[in-house]
Structure 1
Amino acid sequence: MHFPLLLIPLLHPLTTHALNITTPQPNNPFAPSPLPPSHAQSDGDAIVSLFQTLGRTTVWTLISQTPFQGDTYEPEGIVRLGPSRYIVSAGEYTLPTIPYGKVINGTDRTAGAGFAHLIVFSGNGTRIADVTLTKPGEVEYHNGGIDFDGEWIWCTIAQYRPNTTAHVVRVDPRTLEQTTILRYDDHLGGIVHDVQRGSITTLNWGARNASTFDLRRRPGGYGWNAGVAKAASVVRNPSYFVDYQDCKFLGHSRLYNGRAVMLCSGVATIGSGASSYNLGGVAIVDVETMVPLMEVPITMRSVLGTPVTQNPVEVSVEDGKLRLYFLPDQHTSILYVYEAQPDSPYEF
């Protein structure tokens, strides 16, 4: 179902940062023109329907492996603007965080230091542009999962530690210019934008809580004048299957009676020590309640041994088949594209 973009009152941004951008391919545009529709505007219902055919015995066929040029730092999220452009959110860490060994002022480690990036790649992995979204010395530098709503890319930039602070920015994929929308007193990771409702939903450290903000409310209603927003709702994630890292908004699903749903992927460490195992998974999640409506384990690993669901995920439907896009490894990254072969309707 196609919904027009709402004219929500974002004419009162908190800040617009000057760009620090490198363009190895200066003659290549950052994004295709026109921009492709979002999942909610195009294939969201098809993705949800095809997801129903997945299970533990699904055969995932590797369609392609595309090396992405240059240092990708730690990739956190990815959006696919058609077959010719990928935009990756990433964290560059110049000073590691150090665990306290106890909780101090609500968190468990030092702030560390680094920079938040968005990096643009062509369909063949050529590096087109790299924009730094933060300035030296900023304590919020972790750029988490990202979402594309048909016009803007939505990002969360947070301290790289739990129970701290973050801010939300929207980025124009055509220019890579960013606008800060709100600030919040918690770590924020994944984010999705529900255009129909005019709201954003963000996930905190480990995706344990989801905070939703109504963007149609006037500044002042959230304490925007003071620079810190108050969420319209905060719900606890009832699933401990995996910790969601990156999500994509799929719209209001006909299959689920109009519920707002998102596709999320992530990892979780099961057990400890030598017996521990990093489990990967992908789920269709109710945005309002965080209840997983369907979830499947993902066991594939990169050539370096990393679970493919470790952070960025994208999705598409190609010739009636579901494809997932993963970028799991740090610094030297390969985009893995897998296509699902539907399960038997009777799985034993």
Structure 2
Amino acid sequence: MAPPATKNSPTTPLLDALFTLDRRSRLELIGEVRLDFPTHHPQGMAFATGLTFLSSVEILDAPLPAADPTLRSPGRGRGHVFVLDSKGGLLRDVHVGEDSMYHPGGMDFDGEHVWLSVAEYRAGGPSIVYTIDPYSLEVRERFRVDDHIGWILRDPELDLVYGGSWGSRRIYTWDTEGRVVANWENPGHFVDYQDAQLLSPGLLLCSGISVLPQADGTPFELGGLALVEPQRQKILRDVPISIFSAAGHVITRNPVTVTADENGLQIHAAPDDGDDPGGTRILTHRIS
């Protein structure tokens, strides 16, 4: 399948590379940056103005589990957006959220602002949508949603905002004032999307994980990438990812950003928590 035509899109090399990606593609680790500060449980990642923005949830009181995830207790915690230099040094810890809404999610840079959602740590809980100015680091509330929004981004050419619910079981489109333009049930059950980025107008790259039981009862983390076209409510392509960090997490577990250069496609990911062996590292894999 060829990538959809995009008018004057600067991301054509990235799109071309993504449409050649399949489960036979090889991933080679070409770099890692260790984050030498408490990172807690990273959630989303975006590159902007030469900086890396990494969202993370710090859990103070864990939510009480329930068979129905909407009935979990909200728990208590803090939402963070870590602003990093090119070597992973912490420049600023921006606190985000309000009361029981402390769980930041996947994020993206629209060329002007970093867009971020912060939700209760349970399915169906409310969320706040924020933008962060990458220069001043001013945080601005944009709108609120009566659902758990696990990732969000803005499409500047169409002036629309896209986001996914808990596990991305429902995908939303809003205008920039928060009015719902569309919402639809995700037909894909391959992985639950945890982070997303805009590739070109109306085309998203979503990344995520499914935790599957094995025959011996131990869990297996299956990762994946998906090309999603919200305007047509379609998944154009999805590809499994089964590359793991030193701590044993699939690399698409949470924060992911994909770039392309003259040497090919690169996946930048931070799958490990601060208390995992070795702590959090931003891993870069080249795909061939």
TM-score, with length taken from structure 1: 0.76
Give how far 1:120 is off.
Answer: 1.0
Encode CA deviations 1:55-103: one digit per residue, 9 max, x unaligned.
1111111110110120111111101236x42110111111100024557
Give how far 1:111 is off.
Answer: 0.8
Instruction: Please say if 1:262 is aligned against 2:165.
Output: no
Give how far 1:288 is off.
Answer: 2.3
Give how far 1:43 is off.
Answer: 4.0
Encode CA deviations 1:115-150: one digit per residue, 9 max, x unaligned.
111101111111111111135xx0111100001001
Instruction: Please say if 1:336 is aligned against 2:270.
Output: no
- Listed as ranges, the gaps of 5+ residues in structure 2 are 1-6
Give how far 1:304 is off.
Answer: 0.5
CA gap of 1:301–1:290, structure 2 versus 1, over 3 A, is: farther
Encode CA deviations 1:317-345: one digit per residue, 9 max, x unaligned.
1214111100001112101101111xxxx
Query: Could you tell me which of 149, 152, 163 is aligned with 1:188?
Result: 149
Encode CA deviations 1:225-251: one digit per residue, 9 max, x unaligned.
xxxx54121111111110010000011
CA gap of 1:102–1:338, structure 2 versus 1, over 3 A, is: closer
**Structure 2 partner of 1:89:** 55
**Structure 2 partner of 1:165:** 126
**Structure 1 partner of 2:3:** none
Identity of aligned residues (%): 30
Amino acid aligned to 1:147: D
Structure 1 contact 48–284 (Cα < 8 Å) conserved = no
Structure number with larger C-alpha Rg: 1
Amino acid aligned to 1:244: Y
Give how far 1:296 is off.
Answer: 1.2
Instruction: Please say if 1:291 is aligned against 2:257.
Output: no
Distance in structure 1 (CA, Å) of the matches to 2:181 and 2:261: 37
Structure 2 contact 41–57 (Cα < 8 Å) conserved = yes
Runs (4+) of structure 1 moved beyond 3 Å? 40-43, 100-103
Structure 1 contact 325–337 (Cα < 8 Å) conserved = yes
CA gap of 1:336–1:233, structure 2 versus 1, over 3 A, is: same
Query: Could you tell me which of 75, 80, 94 is aligned with 2:47?
Result: 80
Query: Could you tell me which of 189, 201, 223 is aligned with 2:162?
Result: 201
Encode CA deviations 1:165-197: one digit per residue, 9 max, x unaligned.
111011101121111111111000111211111
**Structure 2 partner of 1:49:** 16
Give how far 1:276 is off.
Answer: 3.6
Instruction: Please say if 1:324 is aligned against 2:267.
Output: yes
- Which structure would you say has the larger RCO, counting Cα contacts within 8 Å and 6 or more residues apart? 1
Which structure features the higher share of strand residues?
2
- Listed as ranges, the gaps of 5+ residues in structure 1 are 1-39, 220-228, 253-259, 342-348
TM-score, with length taken from structure 2: 0.91
Distance in structure 2 (CA, Å) of the matches to 1:61 and 1:155: 30
